[in-house]
Chain A
């Protein structure tokens, strides 16, 4: 008997097939990794497992019984739990309050020693004890009385896991659990996976990071274009084979970049003592200074939420700085509008693709001119030159290999990778002097990652200055000439890109300065 078995599971949205004839059997007490590129249908599959979406065909069996979930509550009652990528916790409450949210333990008023009626008053001491016991049982490092806001991201994730464990689930689904963790926290998480497995839990891990798959899983299922393309025992396979299955061809996992000496190149971009506060008056950037030279990539590493987003927002004109200066080729461009920045030669690949980078409900060619629509070849006397715009659209679609079903279609029809390529095409093709690139490959398939990395390196070879902000450590380490690490709005240190070593980077990301 399998823990979960999917038989010919199918999910269609209109004509679009998200999952087709998925047959997966997941053994009790094993760790099964489900890998695939973004848009391959992993998340849809998991949402069907967890009752968030209903399959349009096939059947789903849990512990041998056929089930049909109407909501995630049904799934939890069947012993399935999911830990989402974005945590659903109340920051101002304590760990134990979060875990028991919705299942509070009430004070019991016993009459003559018998079990009496339940009162509406929460029994905090009982709650605390219950949760602490749970934490000890699973050997998690957590204090039940800490306020969630003050604990680390890794700890928050453990709270999420405990939330599920408290509800007696036997099968845990993890959706991209390591995306927000430092390397050390990833190791801790992988260790707790093993501990959970020892306690007899079944784990399903959705990821595209092959290192974790190789390290922790027993079985790997590869999904591509909504179908299962391969099932392997982890010990019989390797990362290269899995990558090939995912993409359908050989993939170069490491970028080869030529070394070059930039010590005598000209400084293009210079940021001095930059500071800013957020809407709540909290200082989120504190005295940031760095230079970028011609043909140099400066990587910004750090755990998410340590000021990298704000740095990009300030540099790209979406947030005002409260102190310090920014200059491009010795021209002061502090607090310029995004339009002025683009006109002066700053290309911007924003962090949030669909919020700041693209307008989903506009056509591809309209998106390809956004930010550059004042350009005299595209716009004369306030009227847009439709023909020129279409011509440019065709040219960029061809040059940047954007795969589209239909030229006049909207961006919302594109996969993450192709949508990102639109931004890349728009910003890279405008011949910028400086590129601000933020999370260029988040949620992007391997093929597009390869392509975007190559384009970034091409621009580096052409002598552009590039600021690269990414939470993907391997990306930073592979591409950057120098790496600065941010922690709580400050730069804690700088490392050369070559041989930075994830261990050292990880320590700096946790706030320990480089020795």
Chain B
């Protein structure tokens, strides 16, 4: 019975923000003078119910699944890797470099090499905050957050200098070789990268659910002192977790470059960026792998759907930004509730106000 309660609660925790955000977005759409129902219908129809749309949605979901998982594993251990964005961008950049400098490899090897480069770079970049946290107890949240800006400047410098493609009209590196590109499948946007993301998802599911590492990560997240006292070497585990997170982030960036962008530009990660989207997805999915998978697809559907609504209605595609913003706002209510018992307090105020009102009458 208890278990059902918690499942119900987690559904409520996820559904409430989603429905709330869509509702508030609907009000904005209505204010523009459009019908929110038809707008949403088009969005869903085009992104999830049509074949091509669905595959496109899945294609864009792939990097988000990965960044979501990368964040979830650290959050589960109560460590905050806010540097997923930077690790993904740096991983993508160097995967791209390998993609256009190495030539004459068969596609499978070349793709493998690029992906590996991305993962290793992501890992190495995550190593800095990991060592600082595990052995010098430096707050990882600050370090990872600040290192994102370091990445921005590094890739700007490199893509304006040594790796700049002079043939391009804007700042960009050379395009990667054909042999390093993920090929389109089924005559759609979908590439093999999505299936790589699914495999990583499967692995992480097993890690979270059935492995010793998952058990230890949960224990560390819930009570580090207990974990230390029961012989889990917490500092070493923190290193492991950060490295896994960095590798997955690097993979996300590399895959996105090799399946969608094909060259590195300064707006590669988009706005707000793969890593930040991943954070929202991890929150929406309650740090649970299956939840993250669903959330990533939902989130990606919003994005692909938005491309179509501006075609079929007068609603600008920026409405999706409004919905995302509302989603973040409503998700944070969950945290307020958990940390400050917001709902109980509101209830108490409500009751008090009610009884006063009655007295006044």
Q: Which residues of A contact B (CB under 8 A)?
A: 316-318, 337-343, 348, 350, 355-362, 366, 370-371, 373-374, 379, 382-384, 386, 406, 408-409
Instruction: Give chain B interface residues in 227-268, CB to chain A under 8 Å.
Output: 227-233
The one of B206, B210, B230 that contacts A338, using a Cβ cutoff of 8 Å:
B230
- Bound CA span A343–B231, Å: 10
B3 within 8 A of A: yes
- Bound CA span A316–B230, Å: 10
Q: Return the 3 tightest CB-CB contacts between A and B, nearest first.
A: A339-B231, A371-B230, A356-B229
Given A356-B225, A361-B222, A366-B215, 8 new contacts (CB under 8 A): A316-B229, A338-B231, A339-B231, A339-B233, A340-B231, A359-B223, A370-B230, A383-B212
CB-based contact A408/B231 at 8 Å:
no
The one of B2, B222, B232 that contacts A362, using a Cβ cutoff of 8 Å:
B222
CB-based contact B229/A318 at 8 Å:
yes
Shortest A413–chain B CB gap in Å is 9
Given contacts A370-B219, A384-B215, contact A357 B210 (CB under 8 A): no
Shortest B280–chain A CB gap in Å is 24
Instruction: Give chain B interface residues in 1-58, CB to chain A under 8 Å.
Output: 2-3
Q: Which residues of B contact A (CB under 8 A)?
A: 2-3, 206, 210-213, 215-216, 218-219, 222-223, 225-233
CB-based contact A382/B232 at 8 Å:
no
For B206, B222, B225, which residue has the most chain A Cβ atoms within 10 angstroms? B225
The one of A341, A359, A374, A406 that contacts B212, using a Cβ cutoff of 8 Å:
A374
Shortest B1–chain A CB gap in Å is 8
Question: Please, which residues of chain B bring their CB within 8 A of the CB of A406?
Answer: 2
Question: Please, which residues of chain A bring their CB within 8 A of the CB of B222?
Answer: 359-362
- Bound CA span A269–B230, Å: 21
Shortest B93–chain A CB gap in Å is 32
User: What are 19 A-B pairs with beta-carbon distances under 8 A?
Assistant: A316-B229, A337-B233, A339-B232, A339-B233, A342-B230, A342-B231, A355-B226, A356-B225, A357-B229, A359-B223, A359-B226, A361-B222, A362-B218, A370-B226, A370-B230, A384-B211, A384-B215, A406-B2, A409-B2
Question: Please, which residues of chain B bring their CB within 8 A of the CB of A339?
Answer: 230-233
The one of B3, B213, B227 that contacts A382, using a Cβ cutoff of 8 Å:
B213
Q: Which residue of B lies closest to A408 (CB)?
A: B3
Question: Please, which residues of chain A bring their CB within 8 A of the CB of B229?
Answer: 316, 318, 338, 348, 350, 355-357, 371
The one of A342, A358, A379, A386 that contacts B226, using a Cβ cutoff of 8 Å:
A358
CB-based contact A355/B218 at 8 Å:
no
Shortest A478–chain B CB gap in Å is 27
Question: Please, which residues of chain B bring their CB within 8 A of the CB of A386?
Answer: 210
CB-based contact A338/B228 at 8 Å:
yes
CB-based contact B228/A318 at 8 Å:
yes
CB-based contact A384/B212 at 8 Å:
yes
- Bound CA span A362–B226, Å: 11
For A337, A343, A348, A384, which residue has the most chain B Cβ atoms within 10 angstroms? A384
Question: Please, which residues of chain A bring their CB within 8 A of the CB of B231?
Answer: 317, 337-343, 371, 374
CB-based contact A373/B212 at 8 Å:
yes
Shortest B297–chain A CB gap in Å is 28
Q: Decide if the interface of chain B is mainly helix, strand, loop or mixed.
A: helix
- Bound CA span A45–B3, Å: 31
Q: Which residue of B lies closest to A405 (CB)?
A: B2
CB-based contact B226/A384 at 8 Å:
no
Question: Please, which residues of chain B bring their CB within 8 A of the CB of A373?
Answer: 212, 215-216
CB-based contact A408/B228 at 8 Å:
no
Q: Which residue of B lies closest to A369 (CB)?
A: B215
- Bound CA span A462–B219, Å: 33
Shortest A394–chain B CB gap in Å is 17
Q: Which residue of A lies closest to B1 (CB)?
A: A406
- Bound CA span A384–B212, Å: 6
Shortest B239–chain A CB gap in Å is 16
CB-based contact A383/B210 at 8 Å:
yes
Question: Please, which residues of chain A bring their CB within 8 A of the CB of B230?
Answer: 338-339, 342, 370-371
- Bound CA span A374–B216, Å: 11
Question: Please, which residues of chain B bring their CB within 8 A of the CB of A350?
Answer: 229
Question: Please, which residues of chain B bring their CB within 8 A of the CB of A338?
Answer: 228-231
Shortest A357–chain B CB gap in Å is 7
- Bound CA span A339–B236, Å: 13
Shortest B78–chain A CB gap in Å is 11
Shortest A377–chain B CB gap in Å is 13
Question: Please, which residues of chain B bring their CB within 8 A of the CB of A362?
Answer: 218-219, 222
- Bound CA span A361–B224, Å: 12
- Bound CA span A331–B223, Å: 31
Shortest B216–chain A CB gap in Å is 8
Question: Please, which residues of chain B bring their CB within 8 A of the CB of A355?
Answer: 223, 225-226, 229
- Bound CA span A318–B215, Å: 21
For B3, B211, B218, B226, which residue has the most chain A Cβ atoms within 10 angstroms? B226
Question: Please, which residues of chain B bring their CB within 8 A of the CB of A343?
Answer: 231
- Bound CA span A370–B212, Å: 11
Shortest A367–chain B CB gap in Å is 9
Question: Please, which residues of chain B bring their CB within 8 A of the CB of A382?
Answer: 211-213
Q: Which residue of B lies closest to A406 (CB)?
A: B2
- Bound CA span A367–B226, Å: 10
CB-based contact B225/A383 at 8 Å:
no
- Bound CA span A351–B216, Å: 22
CB-based contact A384/B219 at 8 Å:
no
The one of A371, A374, A384 that contacts B210, using a Cβ cutoff of 8 Å:
A384
- Bound CA span A455–B232, Å: 27
Question: Please, which residues of chain A bring their CB within 8 A of the CB of B212?
Answer: 373-374, 379, 382-384
- Bound CA span A383–B215, Å: 10
Question: Please, which residues of chain A bring their CB within 8 A of the CB of B3?
Answer: 408
Q: Which residue of B lies closest to A366 (CB)?
A: B215
Given contacts A339-B233, A366-B215, contact A360 B223 (CB under 8 A): yes
CB-based contact B228/A359 at 8 Å:
no
Shortest A70–chain B CB gap in Å is 12
For A338, A358, A359, A406, which residue has the most chain B Cβ atoms within 10 angstroms? A359
Shortest A378–chain B CB gap in Å is 9
- Bound CA span A355–B226, Å: 6
CB-based contact A408/B2 at 8 Å:
yes
For A316, A343, A357, which residue has the most chain B Cβ atoms within 10 angstroms? A357
Q: Which residue of B lies closest to A343 (CB)?
A: B231
- Bound CA span A350–B229, Å: 8
- Bound CA span A482–B110, Å: 72
- Bound CA span A360–B229, Å: 14
- Bound CA span A190–B219, Å: 44
